[in-house]
Chain A
Amino acid sequence: MSFRRLRAIAHKEVLHVIRDPRSLASAIAIPLIMLLIFGYALSLDVDRIPTIVYNQDLRPESAELVRDFTGSRYFQVIEGVSSYRPISQAMDSRRALLGVVIPADFSSNILSGSSPAQVQLLFDGSDSNTAAIARGYAEGIVALYAARLRSQAQDMHAGRVPPVGVSAEARVWYNPDMVSRNFIVPGLIAVIMMIITGNLSSLTIAREWENGTMEQLLSTPVRPSELALGKLAAYFLVGLIDMAICMFVGVFLFDVPFKGSLLFLTISSLVFLFGSLCTGVWVSATFRTQLMAYQMGTLISFLPGFLLSGFIYSISSMPRVIQAIALFVPARYFINISKGVFLKGIGPEILWPDFLLLCGYGTLIFFFTVRKLREKVA
């Protein structure tokens, strides 16, 4: 291993990145765009659900129920209407996700007690996830309203009898406000680093083959391990810049809490970067054209990075086969570390298995990469 040769390759590779506006853009701009899109747009939180009320009753009892919806931060009553038609129109145009229909006999049923008062809740099921959450909130409001009525009725008839029942006091740890951004951003750091570095490095060897410079390189005393490490060093820099951008935007723009050790997260990032860069170089050495390498690089980094890493979809709720495949996705271990450090403030005392697995993956893929490059020489 010659440091002089290593340095020459790394320096040249940095120049390639700087001179090529496309790779520079994908190295710096794409992480920013992804962060902004995911941070702002990919919100899994449901609030201010646009709601339309069709109140056929119009008496104080029903008006109180409508007030309960209006007062909730989960709902925003955008319109009161006097037939079904505007409700279905509003749902078709996605102006409203919920329609609350109060029948004309609502108040009289409550007052007489002869038959149960009914409320119809209409949801837009084309967005089933949001509909399910909205349904939970809406039923909650109706249930609260019913409980209040019952206790009022008991007050009137039999003096003060406290409402009986069990109430669950739920507290959410680590992300008390359940802000989805807080768990998306730490995962996104991993996904961005994996995708950007995987894509950039997947082009690097294929480009040398296509331009005929690989043949020139192979006629020099450069060794495969020097070639791989030299190229990695350059993209390492890019990866570090990406990580810094992600951390900065996450903590200062999105106010994601950072509770753990920056040092541990940084070291883990370096190990993770090394592995995903090696994967890119391996892809690049395996598929000789830039187009093939780029597509394979995307396939290998993007899909597992998004779907099998636990970034959004929890791995433990996947089918067994998929769970088994996900064991081989290094991003999941890094996401564990990132979320743990960001949100829980835990460190190597708990996360060491993830850290060791990342180290193992990096070593293994580096070995394969050098072997692949050596194969091409012979």
Chain B
Amino acid sequence: MLPETKGPAVHIEKLTKRFGDFTAVADLNLDVQPGEIFGFLGPNGAGKSTTIRVLCGLMAPTSGRAVVGGFDVSLHPEEVKRRIGYMSQKFSLYDDLTVKENIQFFAGVYGVSAEKFPARLEFVLKMAELEDKQDSLTSLLSGGWKQRLALGCAILHEPPILFLDEPTSGVDPIARRNFWELIYQLSASGHTIFVTTHYMDEAEYCHRIALMYGGRMIALGSPLELKRSLGVGHLLNLESSDLLESLTQLYGGDNILDVAVFGGGLHIKVDDAERAIAWIRQTLSQAGIEISVLEPITPSMEDVFVSLIEHEEKAAA
């Protein structure tokens, strides 16, 4: 691994990227510390991938500054590229090459020395559990294996910083779980990991999360901090005999801040849980709706996500 540079692994200052009239990323400021697993969350088109592309030197920013591994991306792209591993949304290894040939190729372009190569090959094959498949064509591997091989190829040169752009899209849950185990191991061994996702459960695995919306960062913090920001004890879960009618009855009601359908029930955001529960029981029984569950719950990441974005949309309207 290259010697650690002092300061944050990633430092972003007033970063803006425009495509014509469209602003993909607006005035982003962010620091990511070494060894952190940093999650970038947000709907499609929020500017997550664009930010990662700028940080990897694939795109020049319109204005602002990005420093990765101690080097400015615009001024020293070569130095940055030696210190990063990048895994794009789309599977981007060569399908017509075997597992081993892909590893050989990326070892070559990353400049892994011939002495180090056997050890790195063994490490990647073991990590991706592909020891007995090294001579199979990559096109024949299943999604989970491809994902792990892509990760393996991205860390052949032992980069201190890893950028993963939706690394687990289109992979089954067990493969996803295994993949995150790998990310934890890498983080534990000192790698900084910058990952985008739109799986809420994956967001929970991150040390810190930034929520992107419309090119802006609208929230930043640990998963716990973000949930707390929503207010503990201010979220109720309701299951009733008539879900949609309940929604209509409760929407805009006294003390009710927000109502959203959530799986088989409703999540209701309130100011005062006790008063609200009493009011809801009364209102729904008058409407002839039977309540099976009504209780305060801890908000999930999805609650945080939905609530923050709705807040943004209301502000925009």
Contacts and interface: CB of A to CB of B under 8 A. Distances in A.
B109 A212 contact: no
A217 B110 CA distance: 10
B72 to A, nearest CB: 15
Interface residues of A, number: 26
Given A12-B101, A213-B92, A219-B58, A5 B111 contact: yes
A363 B308 CA distance: 57
Nearest to B92: A216
Interface string A192-221: 000000000000000000011101111111
A216 B86 contact: yes
Interface string B90-125: 111111110001001111111100000000000000
Contacts of B88: 212, 215-216, 219
A378 B105 contact: no
Interface string A318-338: 000000000000000000000
A167 interface: no
A277 to B, nearest CB: 20
Nearest to A219: B86
A34 B6 CA distance: 63
A221 B111 contact: yes
Interface residues of B, number: 31
B191 interface: no
B78 interface: yes
B171 interface: no
A219 B105 contact: no
B198 interface: no
A8 B109 contact: yes
A213 B60 CA distance: 19
25 contacts: A4-B108, A4-B111, A5-B111, A7-B108, A8-B105, A8-B107, A8-B108, A9-B105, A15-B96, A16-B94, A211-B90, A212-B88, A212-B90, A215-B90, A216-B88, A217-B109, A219-B58, A219-B84, A219-B86, A219-B88, A219-B163, A220-B109, A221-B82, A221-B109, A222-B109
Given A11-B108, A216-B86, 19 more contacts: A4-B108, A7-B108, A8-B104, A8-B105, A8-B109, A11-B105, A15-B101, A211-B95, A212-B91, A213-B92, A213-B93, A213-B94, A216-B92, A219-B57, A219-B163, A221-B82, A221-B111, A223-B78, A377-B57
Interface of A: 2, 4-5, 7-9, 11-12, 15-16, 19-20, 211-213, 215-223, 377-378
